[in-house]
Structure 1
Amino acid sequence: MSPSEQELDAALAAAHLPALVLSMVHLTGDPGWLKPEWRPTYTPLARGDIGVPEAEQARLRAAARPVIAAHLSGELKPAPTPGPELVRQMMDFIAGTEIPAGYVDFLSDELALSGDSSKTPDWSEDERRAAGSMKVLVIGAGMSGLLAGIRLSQAGVPFEIVEKNAEVGGTWFENTYPGCRVDSSNHMYSYSFEPNHGWPQHFSTQPVLLDYFRGVAERYGLRRHIRFETTVEAMDWDEAAAQWRVRLRLPDGAVRTETATAVICAVGQLNRPRLPDIAGRESFEGPAFHSAQWRHDVDLTGKRVAVIGTGASAFQFVPEIAGKVARLEVFQRTPPWCFPTPHYHDDVPAGMNWLLEHVPYYDKWYRFFLFWTATDGLLPAVKADPDWQGPPTAVSQVNAGFREMIAQALAAQAGERADLAAKIVPDYPVGGKRALLDNGVWVRALKRDNVALVTEPITAIEPAGLRTADGALHDADVLIYGTGFQASNFLWPMRIKGRGGRDLHATWDGDPRAYLGMTVPDFPNLFMIYGPNTNIVVNGSIIFFSECSVRYILGCLKMLAASGARALSPRVEAHDVFNARVDAANRGWAWGAPQVSSWYKNEKGRVTQNWPFALVDYWRATLAPDPEDFEFDKATAAVA
């Protein structure tokens, strides 16, 4: 049904105009829409500012209106897909700058105008037949595990998913604390091949995200492949049979051992809560729980509540509970950097959702815009200058300028509360830790009369509350830990033994490493998604990394199918050279600076989490596995 004039006007008023221009090129086939006066000029951190005068914006909307109406009436069909040269011009237009040549093939693949991309499995009939004898076990039915199941199904590879929870969704099933929401734009934090044109907010809440992943599981028929409330306790590589023997704990408590040709670990990094090592933790007499294990049976109304931690979770739930508690004390060790994001809690206008659904290619180009602006644009601001002689609160002149801009924004929110301003502006470089998205609710919560931000170190937890270094006892009825996760304990608590009984965690010795974050020497046919050094700090969405990783893992399975080999694992030299490059590069960023302490680093001070190169580099490195990087089981066949 065609919209009314008022509805169409409302949609055009809500449009991201550069994306609208490019959808008009698709509908009309006319590159004349790429007018210089309509080309955007973006202001850093300024939401919605495209640098186009209001009069020109009105002209653009007026010109687009009859084109959309003609399309909706059936009078106008989309023109043939533009050629590569025009697509390049369109990319430069929406980016507001000339996109570097090295990014074009990468961004064209992400744009996927034809509907497919390099991430869609493309297997021959012979490879599919060979894969029919495989059995792949996927551990985890969160975002990455569901993605692995989809791609395995598309390639015709038999698989099963085991999930410790009673439902799909992973972190979006487990984290139900008040205010829980995503911190990447939803139109980018979603599978590239499964857009949702009905996101209610730009950064949606946990129930909405869980519904999205549940819907994906249903649409792709994944539930029949999933065994819920089942945990993996141990895995042992059977050299003679060239397969994994996997010990499962079933819902009824029984133990069963099953075999698999390959195992894909999609267990995530942030799913095992970490509690602080504070004396007397078990002595507290009131309810105490971690934010990832929220006690919804505990009514906080009128209670004295103590919160330990000011990371991403506390940043979201503290403003939600501050208005109902009698007294709230937030204990901070290190303040977070907060990037101004005024629309963090805003609804997506109905007109925008209408355009995403009804105007051809508008959704692709809007996602492209979000992807490009979040790709590598902020990296120069967090790059360390080896010759920097300034204060340790920055790592370069550019970083110092960026710091000043964000610090001023935070201090302005504190207003007359100079005492608060001194506590909320970090003393480490911007980019040292993942920044949070700030629309003002955090500082407003801290400014409430019933809220206090405590920076005195906690020395002990006592039955009645928390004791700080100044000797004060902070009475509390409820204690909430917002203290993060055991991020560096990859694949814990599973016990994994590879060739010759080699134990994976003993091999890592607290310093996890993997080739491209996915494979480890002497652990054949074992793959990880979101493994060591595949995290991001200021650029991109983790779904992008998962899609690249799954593409690469499917490529490894395809090599097995094509070669007839039984198993593969990375060569030690390839693994070691890669990790040496990663370590050297990580030292060159704000998060690798010696004065920065964060969960990105392990106890030895090494950055085990982060990818230290551009997103395009991970995309290119994971396009397809190189057989030269691997050792193949020669018992059956040798790789060609």
Structure 2
Amino acid sequence: MSAAGVRSVQAAADDLFWQDTYEPVIESDEELLRIVEGADLPALLAALAAATGDTTILTPDLRPPLVPVDTVNHPHGGMTPDQQERGRRTALSALRRLRDEEITSVGILSADDTNTILEFLCNGHSEWTGMLQHELDLAPNKGGAPQWRFEDIADGRDFSVLIVGSGVAGIAAAHRFSQAGVPLTIIEAGDRLGGTWQKNRYPGVRLDTPTFGYSYSFAQRADWPHQFAQGCEIREYLETVARRAGLDESIEFGSRLVRAEWIESARVWRVTTRSGDGGEKTREFNAVISACGQLDIPNIPDFPGQDAFTGIAMHSQDWDESVDWRGKRVAVIGTGASAYQIVPAVCDDVDSLVVFQRSAPWMLPAPNYHDGMSETFSWLARKVPHYAQWFRLWVLILGIPGRFHTVRAESGWEGAPLSVSRKNQEVREELTRILTEQFAGHPELLKHAIPVYPPGAKRMLRDNGVWAKALTSAHTTLATSPIREFTPNGIVTEDGTEHAVDIIVYATGFRPSEYLEGMEILGRGGHEIHDVWEGDARAYNGVTVPGFPNFFMVYGPNVGGVVAGSLHFMLERAGEYALKAVRELLERRASALDVKQAALERFTAWVDSENRQMAWGQPYVRTWYQNSAGRVSQIWPFTNIEYWDATESIDPEDYEFLA
């Protein structure tokens, strides 16, 4: 039994993957030393302090300094070799305690112990504590799960919520609303849950962020197989989360939202959904939550002669798994995130491969991109209570400051438009050096492999050398001349070259700025939301829109992170903010709440001002982060901490409450 006590009901209630007990440590000192030498020290020291109940082992001189990351993560958060050696001795001693005292379980920490451990991991950043407690299973006030029940405050009134979508965002919102007992209906246009991870099944699909940073605070899986999870693993995870949360059987599949109209007199949303066979159903809900995501609507450019092509053409999101691409002549249009995964995955097995590039991608070194979790990690996750949860928290901590310092622009920087600051130029030079090594002997490819825009201005990919290997393959052609037209047998570029192909893959991304595309959302006064936005979607905290009472967005405008933070955290907080809004109006005996225009304008000005300071906000940069109006409407230019603060409570001054 752990000296820290036993499990509490609160912790189990807010982690669908909670584990009561762990395997006993029985290894020899020599074997434990080997484990310690292969472990991530800050996470291990935190886990051992919690398990033994002895936080005095976390001495100030062992604190990880959290050295800013330019391109490659610093081992152990930048701990010096001397710190590492002393940390290993401390960890070894604590592991012996787990073995000798037969500690296999740990309970909820005291507030003091929680703060001590978090202060250690954060190197004294006490302002991060609130956000991190939201993510920590063992915190006494974890805070994500609602501490109220609908029936206790609704006073017998009817109030129903519609959640649109069952992907990562929809599951996050549905779980929190379900925990509070709010009556809800979930609709999903597809035939299975999972959103983008259900749709994207192309060869090589996987995360380009570390797996442990891509999971819910309320579903902290410990036994992930890969350091960057494969698409099938994410699908399995989401399906398991929905099943354990009791959501899977309540989802209406094949039900697409086509129209939602606010009925002012009744204070309800009149919603029309359409099934796969074209049948429509009209219902009324008191609130609607859109969890449709951003990367959902494929972007397929128009090219002359597209209809004349007689081979197979498909977008990466609509990959036809019945198509056998092996031994075929394949064309991939685009060099973004999906192309970066597809091209190396198919390269060795096709007859020929041509990659059509408009602009080259910047790639961050990630030698472990295709690696499984190590044996050491597996051992720790099985034998050190909650080690995997502490490791997940450590990943999130490293992501708080992220690489913001590398993408912030310097006023009057002379290196523009190739870089935005001295630090950004240093990153450019380091990444260029790596590309030069990878394309050694291929100068004709190297000149096209180095991007002509600043690092961080567009989405940066993960690089372990497979992209360069694929492009330098003898049967791969990199086409940089613009596409002129399609022919029955292939593609002709502006330089007159015709590329004969059997299969064309559009790895051309999505239309992320076209929020709520394909839906008609009519708010107060009959105003349609797309007419209100005029191509420039805006929402307060990325969640609420003036004139659309009780309408909430999860993964709405300006909440996407690209160089820092956790997307899951942002989505969870947006869903929790919507739930707080529902509680607020119920407690006030109001029918609805409507965010004020002044609040939205204040929020937008704050976000826009910061985005203009970033690489992606410079006037000479063109990126999908920007909408048709030229405004950066996808990206959150701050850390998770600022979003924690922004969504911590509903400010009544920001809202009009309708009787």
Q: TM-score, normalised by structure 1?
A: 0.93
The superposition leaves residues 425-447 of structure 1 with CA deviations (integer Å, 9 ceiling, x where unpaired) of: 21111110121111111111111
Structure 2 equivalent of residue 16 of structure 1: 40
Q: Does the alignment pair 1:607 with 2:636? A: no
Q: Does the alignment pair 1:457 with 2:482? A: yes
Is the CA contact 1:521–1:570 (under 8 Å) kept in the aligned structure 2? Answer: yes
Moved more, 397-406 or 190-199: 397-406
Is the CA contact 1:42–1:49 (under 8 Å) kept in the aligned structure 2? Answer: no
Structure 1 equivalent of residue 247 of structure 2: 222
Q: Does the alignment pair 1:171 with 2:199? A: no
Is the CA contact 2:108–2:139 (under 8 Å) kept in the aligned structure 1? Answer: no
Q: Does the alignment pair 1:49 with 2:75? A: yes
Distance 1:586 1:201 in 2: 33
Which of the numbers 49, 56, 72 marks the counterpart of 1:25? 49
Deviation at 1:488, TM superposition (A): 1.0
Is the CA contact 2:36–2:88 (under 8 Å) kept in the aligned structure 1? Answer: no
CA separation of 1:2 and 1:8: change in aligned 2, threshold 3 A = farther
Distance 2:624 2:634 in 1: 8
Is the CA contact 2:119–2:126 (under 8 Å) kept in the aligned structure 1? Answer: no
Moved more, 301-310 or 388-397: 388-397
Report the 3-state secondary structure (helix = DSSP H, G, I; strand = E; otherwise coil) of the residue aligned with 2:317.
helix
Counterpart AA for 1:33: I
CA separation of 1:80 and 1:332: change in aligned 2, threshold 3 A = closer
Counterpart AA for 1:601: Q
Q: Does the alignment pair 1:598 with 2:626? A: no
Is the CA contact 1:175–1:291 (under 8 Å) kept in the aligned structure 2? Answer: yes
The superposition leaves residues 551-574 of structure 1 with CA deviations (integer Å, 9 ceiling, x where unpaired) of: 100011001110111111111111
Distance 1:199 1:363 in 2: 10
Q: How does 1:409-448 map to 2 (within 5 A)?
A: 409-448=434-473
Counterpart AA for 1:307: V
Deviation at 1:87, TM superposition (A): 4.5
Distance 1:65 1:369 in 2: 19
Is the CA contact 1:536–1:611 (under 8 Å) kept in the aligned structure 2? Answer: yes
Deviation at 1:423, TM superposition (A): 1.3
Is the CA contact 1:37–1:56 (under 8 Å) kept in the aligned structure 2? Answer: no
Q: Does the alignment pair 1:406 with 2:449? A: no
Distance 1:484 1:463 in 2: 24
Q: How does 1:230-245 map to 2 (within 5 A)?
A: 230-245=255-270
Deviation at 1:292, TM superposition (A): 0.4
Moved more, 590-599 or 572-581: 572-581
Distance 2:38 2:354 in 1: 40
Deviation at 1:101, TM superposition (A): 3.9
**Identical-residue share of aligned pairs (%):** 39
Structure 1 equivalent of residue 92 of structure 2: 62
Moved more, 595-604 or 30-39: 30-39
Deviation at 1:608, TM superposition (A): 1.1
Counterpart AA for 1:94: L
Counterpart AA for 1:64: A
Distance 1:425 1:67 in 2: 52
Deviation at 1:127, TM superposition (A): 4.8
Structure 1 equivalent of residue 183 of structure 2: 158
Report the 3-state secondary structure (helix = DSSP H, G, I; strand = E; otherwise coil) of the residue aligned with 1:461.
strand
CA separation of 1:307 and 1:158: change in aligned 2, threshold 3 A = same
Counterpart AA for 2:43: A
Report the 3-state secondary structure (helix = DSSP H, G, I; strand = E; otherwise coil) of the residue aligned with 1:64.
helix
Structure 2 equivalent of residue 548 of structure 1: 573
Structure 1 equivalent of residue 121 of structure 2: 94
Which of the numbers 544, 549, 553 marks the counterpart of 1:519? 544
Is the CA contact 1:233–1:493 (under 8 Å) kept in the aligned structure 2? Answer: yes
Q: Does the alignment pair 1:256 with 2:281? A: yes
The superposition leaves residues 565-590 of structure 1 with CA deviations (integer Å, 9 ceiling, x where unpaired) of: 11111111111222122222211111
The superposition leaves residues 341-369 of structure 1 with CA deviations (integer Å, 9 ceiling, x where unpaired) of: 11111100233133224322423321221
Structure 1 equivalent of residue 109 of structure 2: 81
CA separation of 1:416 and 1:36: change in aligned 2, threshold 3 A = farther
Is the CA contact 1:165–1:228 (under 8 Å) kept in the aligned structure 2? Answer: yes
Q: Does the alignment pair 1:529 with 2:554? A: yes
Report the 3-state secondary structure (helix = DSSP H, G, I; strand = E; otherwise coil) of the residue aligned with 2:81.
coil
Q: Does the alignment pair 1:5 with 2:27? A: yes
CA separation of 1:351 and 1:232: change in aligned 2, threshold 3 A = same
Structure 2 equivalent of residue 637 of structure 1: none
Q: Does the alignment pair 1:584 with 2:614? A: no
Which of the numbers 181, 185, 194 marks the counterpart of 2:219? 194
Distance 1:31 1:472 in 2: 68
Aligned length, in residue pairs: 629
Which of the numbers 315, 334, 354 marks the counterpart of 1:309? 334
Deviation at 1:144, TM superposition (A): 1.0
CA separation of 1:244 and 1:141: change in aligned 2, threshold 3 A = same
Is the CA contact 1:142–1:168 (under 8 Å) kept in the aligned structure 2? Answer: yes
Counterpart AA for 2:379: W
Is the CA contact 1:26–1:82 (under 8 Å) kept in the aligned structure 2? Answer: no
Is the CA contact 2:189–2:253 (under 8 Å) kept in the aligned structure 1? Answer: yes
CA separation of 1:62 and 1:376: change in aligned 2, threshold 3 A = closer
The superposition leaves residues 216-274 of structure 1 with CA deviations (integer Å, 9 ceiling, x where unpaired) of: 11111112321001111111111111111111112443111011110000010111111
Structure 2 equivalent of residue 148 of structure 1: 173
The superposition leaves residues 406-457 of structure 1 with CA deviations (integer Å, 9 ceiling, x where unpaired) of: 2222222112222222111211111101211111111111111111221111
The superposition leaves residues 304-325 of structure 1 with CA deviations (integer Å, 9 ceiling, x where unpaired) of: 1111000100101110100111
Report the 3-state secondary structure (helix = DSSP H, G, I; strand = E; otherwise coil) of the residue aligned with 1:234.
strand
Deviation at 1:514, TM superposition (A): 1.0
Which of the numbers 356, 359, 374 marks the counterpart of 1:349? 374
Distance 2:286 2:156 in 1: 10
Distance 2:336 2:157 in 1: 46
Is the CA contact 1:128–1:156 (under 8 Å) kept in the aligned structure 2? Answer: no
Counterpart AA for 1:183: D
Q: Does the alignment pair 1:320 with 2:352? A: no
Counterpart AA for 2:89: R
CA separation of 1:533 and 1:78: change in aligned 2, threshold 3 A = closer
Q: TM-score, normalised by structure 2?
A: 0.91
Report the 3-state secondary structure (helix = DSSP H, G, I; strand = E; otherwise coil) of the residue aligned with 1:452.
strand
Is the CA contact 2:167–2:291 (under 8 Å) kept in the aligned structure 1? Answer: yes
Counterpart AA for 1:5: E
Distance 2:472 2:245 in 1: 47
Deviation at 1:525, TM superposition (A): 0.7
Deviation at 1:131, TM superposition (A): 7.7
Q: How does 1:247-286 map to 2 (within 5 A)?
A: 247-286=272-311
Moved more, 38-47 or 141-150: 38-47
Deviation at 1:56, TM superposition (A): 4.5
Is the CA contact 2:566–2:640 (under 8 Å) kept in the aligned structure 1? Answer: no
Distance 2:64 2:657 in 1: 51
Is the CA contact 1:132–1:158 (under 8 Å) kept in the aligned structure 2? Answer: no
Is the CA contact 1:38–1:52 (under 8 Å) kept in the aligned structure 2? Answer: no
Distance 1:425 1:127 in 2: 60
Moved more, 113-122 or 406-415: 113-122
Deviation at 1:118, TM superposition (A): 2.8
Distance 1:140 1:196 in 2: 23
Is the CA contact 2:175–2:245 (under 8 Å) kept in the aligned structure 1? Answer: yes
Q: Which segments of 5 or more consecutive residues in structure 1 lack a partner in the other structure?
A: 635-640
Moved more, 571-580 or 151-160: 571-580
Report the 3-state secondary structure (helix = DSSP H, G, I; strand = E; otherwise coil) of the residue aligned with 2:552.
strand
Report the 3-state secondary structure (helix = DSSP H, G, I; strand = E; otherwise coil) of the residue aligned with 1:232.
strand
